[in-house]
Amino acid sequence: MKKLLLFSMILAFTFPSEMNAQKKKSKENNTEETATKSQKSKTPKYADFVTKKTTTDEGLFKVHNTDNKFMYEIPKNYFGKEMLLVTRIKDIPAGLGGGYVNAGSKINTQVVVWEEFQNKILLKVKSYNAVANDSLPIYKSVKANNLEPILFAFDIATQNQDSTAVLVDVTKFFTSDIQAISPLPDSYRKRYKVKRLDASRSFINSIKSYPENIEVVQDFTFDAAEPPSNSSTNTITIRVNQSMIVLPEDKMMPRVYDERVGYFSIKNVDYSSEALKADEKRYIRRWRLEPKDINAYNRGELVEPIKPIVYYLDPGTPDKLKKYIKQGVDDWAKVFETAGFKNAIMAKYPPTEEEDPEFSMEDVRYSSIRYVASTTRNATGPSVSDPRTGEILESDIIWYHNHLRSYRNRYLLETGAANPSARTLDTPAEEIGEMMRMVISHEVGHALGLPHNMAASYAYPVDSLRSGKFTQKMGIAATIMDYARYNYIAQPGDENIRFIRQLGPYDHYAINWGYRKIPLAKTPEQEVKTLDKWIEEKADDPIYRFGGARFDPSAQTEGIGNDQVKASTYGMKNLKIVAENLPSWTSDQTNNYEDLSELYGELLGVWSRYVGHVSGNIGGVYEFNKKPVQNGMVYEAVSKKKQKEAMVWLHKNAFETQDWLINPEILANINENGYTERILSLQNRQLYTLLNSNKLEMMIDAEVIDANNYTALDMIRDLRTGIFSETNYTKNVDVFRRNLQKSMINRMGILLNSKDNQNSDISSIVRGELEALNFQLTVAKNRGVNRITKYHYRDCLANIKEILNPK
């Protein structure tokens, strides 16, 4: 009995503790299960981000939008793939950049890659400034010394259902003030006193995904103390377009750049070189054109490219202008035949929504010509290229609505004397269309990789431009890529003249050089021998010369003909006829003075250009890009004879008072004052160009090469004796000359007192000429001239004294 009782007691004490332990263990298990379930429920799921409220755009990446919160679904197989991030201004406030920035302007272009790191996705900027073959040991050093910056770090929100992609929220990235994708560089921030980006007024307008690119449109609003327009708002709002384009994995073989043929280019430093230094490699920018039948192409047959260059016209283009824009593109097809391709480039009207509901002008697969309703007078031909090879990937040419007004005005002013159909504000539609066609051709040339070639207008003899036979065949310049818009040389009575520019022989030559496939060449270096041969075959013909140096008078903008003195003399004769008839061609027809005022202002600009073409000869140096195997020097000063001739012309046509420009019938109807100041500002433009330290230093250097060159002393002495010629006679000085004479003394004072010129002959020459002028004026002040002239001479003497003997 005692044993039974003891056993019962043991059970009583044992079972409860075991039962309690089991209960405790069960409770712990339940807690763990609950915690696990809770933890699982807290782990973000795909369905947490992509809900019934989400709109998804399929493309390069899926783009999810849930209540304006944007997420990229990035496939993991895109990690490390190179993409191009292009930042462009889509819409701008009036006056931004002082009128030198347009909608469509590129702000930044950078190669980016997406990379996974820990629990982040990094967007890194990859540079091609320094490169090396990845099979060489130096590749490691190049990588180590060119660490790629991280543009942004994104948290991984979750993965998709099969774990092949990650989701990241890009909203903050595209609504923050990130300098690398900002539309406002530091210089603009300082200029407009920008304080901050206002996040409450900045947002993502749209994000659209296409098969090869993603397009983001952002509205940025900045607080600014001094905005370029709407100053009372203290606000700058800019609409920005970010294009992210996947770069081709099959890289196009680059073509080596040569400065003797005009092409835009990309460059990098190659550390794989066997030379004793790193090599700078530079490649041209061009489209990838591959013949469908390479064998037929190599036999010299015209062959279609696998992928032609196609431009789609903006659906908003006015119907009456469409055919001219299309012709401006299609004209290049004949040029590409020179390079062996037929139907290589064309313009098309965009498909209707029924024909292709997916078509979009924003899609990188489609290049376009945008028609922008803007008062801007411009057109641009930008393109986007692969920084690794120079391959042009897409292009969006922009035409601004008011640009035709500029062409109408220039047509009237520059050709009206010899061209009756230009003497009207209502230029005939076909002629306006022809102008537009050629502007589009010019911008297409840029989009094909061709920069301006200002030397091309110097290729034709001046008097050939008065020949109908010559101009109808050859145009007015050797390329459409020059700024040679109109034939201002042709005189009244010249017959069958072409007044509007056109494509020329240089365009055929440059496209052939850049785009023709070279058989058997497997590397860019293997092509160089053939490319050199093509250049050297044409080297002595000015028609095929490329140039654009600012100091080269044969490569000036807006000029035509190979003799600026002769060309500008013809131009001035025509402009005087236009000036005399301007009221009858404008205000007499419209019964208001708006057009007269506008055209008179532009007429002064045309006069200034003709003068500038001549002044460019003084101190000018020709540049002939060539390799050592070619004959002749690269640089050659303009002859002394030509410079002296230019100086004589300037005194007669610029520095002497141009009474024909000061027409009371015009001035008294368009402005109440400012006549003398306006003329002086135009004369000063030429005077300051001549009395410029850089120009004077170039003339001093030219003496080292040839002592018989026109010297800086020659030039300043000729300038002094011409501008102050009245001091040699008993002659009154009119107000325009008085202003110009004072201006010359002040400019010489600036040259003399500039610290940069103290160790140069410039200070010696200027001091000597001021002393000579001092003697000249001292003698002249006592002659029998009117009182204002005497006062003027005394004032000039006081100024000279102060310059030579500052307090």
- Quick one: pLDDT at residue 494? 97
- Residue 46 buriedness (CB in 10 A; 0-12 / 13-18 / 19+): middle
- H-run or E-run covering 111: strand 106-117
What pairing do the DSSP bridges indicate for beta strands 265-270 and 235-246? unpaired
- Quick one: pLDDT at residue 400? 75
Helix, strand, coil fractions of the chain, as percent rounded to 5: 45, 20, 35
Tokens 């020097």 belong to which residue?
Answer: 633
Q: What is the pTM of this model?
A: 0.87
Among 277-281, 357-361, 364-368, 431-435, the range scoring the smallest mean pLDDT is: 277-281
Question: Hey, which residues does 219 pair with through a beta bridge?
Answer: 203, 239
Sign of CA dihedral 581, 461, 437, 109: negative
Q: Determine contact, residues 90/241, Cβ cutoff 8 Å.
A: yes
Decide if pLDDT at 34 tops 60. Answer: no
- Quick one: pLDDT at residue 315? 85
Pick 783 or 604 by higher pLDDT.
604
Decide if pLDDT at 143 tops 60. Answer: no
Give 129's pLDDT tier (boundaries 50, 70, 90).
low
Pick 39 or 509 by higher pLDDT.
509
CA distance 349 to 321: 12
**SS3 of 540, please?**
coil
Sign of CA dihedral 753, 759, 761, 764: positive
Question: Residue length, the chain?
Answer: 807
Q: Label residues 499-538 b or e (16+ Cβ within 10 Å = b).
A: bbbbbbbbbbbbbbbbbbbbeebeebeebeeebbebbeeb
pLDDT in tens, 360-373: 877 888 898 887 76
What pairing do the DSSP bridges indicate for beta strands 130-131 and 55-57? unpaired
pLDDT in tens, 334-347: 999 999 999 999 99
CA distance 209 to 215: 6
Q: At what angle do helices 564-585 and 640-650 cross, to 10 degrees?
A: 20
* Structure-block tokens of residue 437: 């066609």
Give 126's pLDDT tier (boundaries 50, 70, 90).
confident
- Residue 720 buriedness (CB in 10 A; 0-12 / 13-18 / 19+): buried
Taking residues 167-191, report their average pLDDT.
92
Give 131's pLDDT tier (boundaries 50, 70, 90).
very low
CA distance 710 to 620: 10
Sign of CA dihedral 565, 571, 574, 580: negative
Decide if pLDDT at 640 tops 70. Answer: yes
- 619 φψ region: left (φ > 0), alpha (ψ -120 to 50), beta (else): left
User: In this structure, what are the phi and psi dihedrals at residue 202, rounded to the nearest 5 degrees?
Assistant: -125, 135
**SS3 of 450, please?**
coil
Decide if pLDDT at 497 tops 90. Answer: yes
Q: Determine contact, residues 51/64, Cβ cutoff 8 Å.
A: no
pLDDT in tens, 67-117: 999 999 999 999 999 999 999 888 888 888 776 676 677 888 889 999 999
Instruction: Count Cβ atoms below 10 Å from residue 405 Cβ, excluding itself.
Output: 13
Residue of 509, 416, 532, 412 lying closest to 456 (CA atoms): 509
CA distance 11 to 22: 16
- H-run or E-run covering 749: helix 735-753
Q: List C-alpha distances in Å: 404 to 376, 413, 426.
A: 10, 14, 12
Please report the beta strands in 142-184, taking only residues with DSSP state E, as ranges in sequence order: 150-159, 165-169
- H-run or E-run covering 112: strand 106-117
User: Residue 606, Cα to own-chain centre: how many angstroms?
Assistant: 23
CA distance 273 to 270: 6
Contacts of 341 (CB under 8 A, 6+ apart): 289, 291, 302, 303, 304, 305, 515
- Quick one: pLDDT at residue 269? 67
Taking residues 136-141, report their average pLDDT.
48
Residue of 430, 410, 485, 424 lying closest to 320 (CA atoms): 430
Taking residues 44-58, report their average pLDDT.
93
Decide if pLDDT at 140 tops 70. Answer: no
CA distance 629 to 634: 12
- Tell me, letter by letter, the H, E, C secondary structure of 315-358: CCCCHHHHHHHHHHHHHHHHHHHCCCECCCEEEECCCCCCCCCC
CA distance 34 to 69: 32
Taking residues 263-290, report their average pLDDT.
78
Residue of 312, 325, 396, 299 lying closest to 355 (CA atoms): 312
**SS3 of 25, please?**
helix
Taking residues 117-135, report their average pLDDT.
74
Q: Label residues 48-81 b or e (16+ Cβ within 10 Å = b).
A: ebbeeeeeebebbbbbbbeeeebbbbbeeeeeee
CA distance 19 to 3: 24
CA distance 479 to 312: 25
Q: In what order do the strands lie in the sheet with 130-131?
A: 130-131, 265-270, 279-284
Question: Hey, which residues does 347 pair with through a beta bridge?
Answer: 311
Q: Determine contact, residues 518/530, Cβ cutoff 8 Å.
A: yes
Give 42's pLDDT tier (boundaries 50, 70, 90).
low
Pick 423 or 21 by higher pLDDT.
423
- Quick one: pLDDT at residue 791? 95
Pick 135 or 731 by higher pLDDT.
731
CA distance 86 to 362: 13
Q: Determine contact, residues 245/497, Cβ cutoff 8 Å.
A: no
- H-run or E-run covering 173: helix 171-175
Q: Label residues 728-739 b or e (16+ Cβ within 10 Å = b).
A: eeeebbbebbbb
